[in-house]
Structure 1
Amino acid sequence: MRCSEVSPYLYVRDAAAALDFYRIAFDAVEDTRTTEDDGRIGHARFTLGDTVCFVADEKPEIGARAPSGDGGTSVALVLRVADADATVARAVAAGATIERGVTEQPGGERRGWVVDPFGHRWAIDSHVVEVTEEELRERTR
């Protein structure tokens, strides 16, 4: 079997606010939203470019929890954009915190790390220059 796509499914403590943040910070487009009887968003689909993503309010009763309040999360998402500097700035203006500022990477990218207001870590990445295998070896020495 060959996988054709992997989509992140994010659990947060306020899915409606998360959808707003992803729209403002990353130009996400909300496709669908289902609200449960208790008012929680049970399932929402949004797209980032060509990538399908999902978000829902956390459901501790089934083990689906948002990242811990102490900054703990076991997953980071990598978002490839045209301009990492501008996207990081927009994410911070929308409420993200900078974990690591945007810097040049050995592989020819500019990358910065932010944590969204819901505890998820994002690597914001722009490809800026082609690097050969030889150049990469030299750069990482």
Structure 2
Amino acid sequence: MASNSKTFFAPQLFIPSGVTDISFYSKAFDAAELRSWRNEDGSIHVAELSIHGAIFHLHEERSAKGQFEPNKIKGVTTLIGLFVENVDAVMEKALRAGAILLSPAQSFDYGYRQGDILDPFGHQWLIEMKI
């Protein structure tokens, strides 16, 4: 197996135990499921996904390690920034796929266009682009 010589971030997003449907990510962001490990009941243990080459993982929560899915703690511990070519188009697609709008896209004087959404598992995404 070839090693990856490039350093990059690969977020681990915690989801509730028992989840079988993670199609939100493909519908909202065109994410491709690269591989997954499932529990005996067919639920996700770990899934590796890619959004145009950017890898992230979904992992069932691990309470014993203090790693909870956001809806359980009614909050978030991280905001996922996703840089795209068209903020408005990606946000609209995500909303149609089931995301909740937290703040509409707007252009800021510091040179970014950004908007916030909440995915069905409670993760907050900052959809953004340089302008």
* TM-score normalised over the length of structure 1: 0.80
Relative to 1, partners in 2 of residues 1:15 and 1:108: Cα closer, same or farther, differing over 3 Å? farther
Which residue of structure 2 aligns with residue 16 of structure 1?
Answer: 20
Correspondence 1:60 to 2:91: no
CA distance in 2, matches of 1:15, 1:53: 17
Which residue of structure 1 aligns with residue 114 of structure 2?
Answer: 111
Percent of aligned positions with the same letter in both sequences?
Answer: 28
Correspondence 1:76 to 2:79: yes
Give 1:97 shift: 0.7
More helix by share: 1
CA distance in 2, matches of 1:105, 1:5: 27
| 2:114 partner letter | R
Which residue of structure 2 aligns with residue 138 of structure 1?
Answer: none
Give 1:103 shift: 0.3
- CA deviation profile, 1:38-77 (whole Å, cap 9, x unmatched): 4431111001122110002223244331003564011000
| 1:30 aligned to which of 22, 29, 33 | 33
Aligned residue pairs: how many?
125
Which residue of structure 2 aligns with residue 92 of structure 1?
Answer: 95
* TM-score normalised over the length of structure 2: 0.85
Contact 2:20 2:42 in 1 (8 A): no
